[in-house]
Every structure is written in structure tokens, then in C-alpha cells.
Amino acid sequence: MSVNYLTIEQISRKLHISPGTARNRLSRLRPMPPSMKIGRRRLFPEVEFEEWMSKYLESSDSIQSDSQESEK
């Protein structure tokens, strides 16, 4: 089984942030997809990125629905 990896530039495009913002989030331990550093490159396993995105979207949906219910 072959594992595909995404670069920080590819992740940034998918998250709609700049590569610099992605690097800042990684260095400040902000929420970012699982990654590994190989040499000087930061790589993100594609399967883990997709799982992280689905969990992140689910949690943000539940936060939004909770805040909408509290406004009622």
C-alpha cells in the first residue's frame, strides 16, 4: 500500500491559509493536521489529513449548532 503525502503548500491551499500561517500554527502548536518532518520538509499523510478534516468539521459544526441553540 502506497501512502501519499501532501506538502505544506498543498495543505495551505486546502485550508485556505498562506504557507506562512500554516508554519506559524505548527510552531505555536495550534490545531493543524498530523504531520512529520523528513529532513527540512514537513509532510502530511493524505489519509490522516482527510480524517483530521472530517473530525475538525464535525467539531466546528457542533460548536455552531450549540451557539445557535443558546441564542434562542
Query: Based on the number of CB atoms within 10 Å of its own CB, is 71 exposed (0-12), middle (13-18) or buried (19 or more)?
Result: exposed
Q: Give the cell for residue 34.
A: 498530523
pTM, whole model, 2 decimals?
A: 0.73
Contacts of 9 by beta carbon, 8 Å cutoff, 6+ apart: 19
Beta pairing class for 41-45 and 5-7: antiparallel
- The predicted model gives 30-41 an average pLDDT of 91
Residue 56 has pLDDT above 70, yes or no: yes
Domain that includes residue 65, residue range? 5-71
CATH of the domain at 66: 1.10.10
Total domains present in the chain: 1
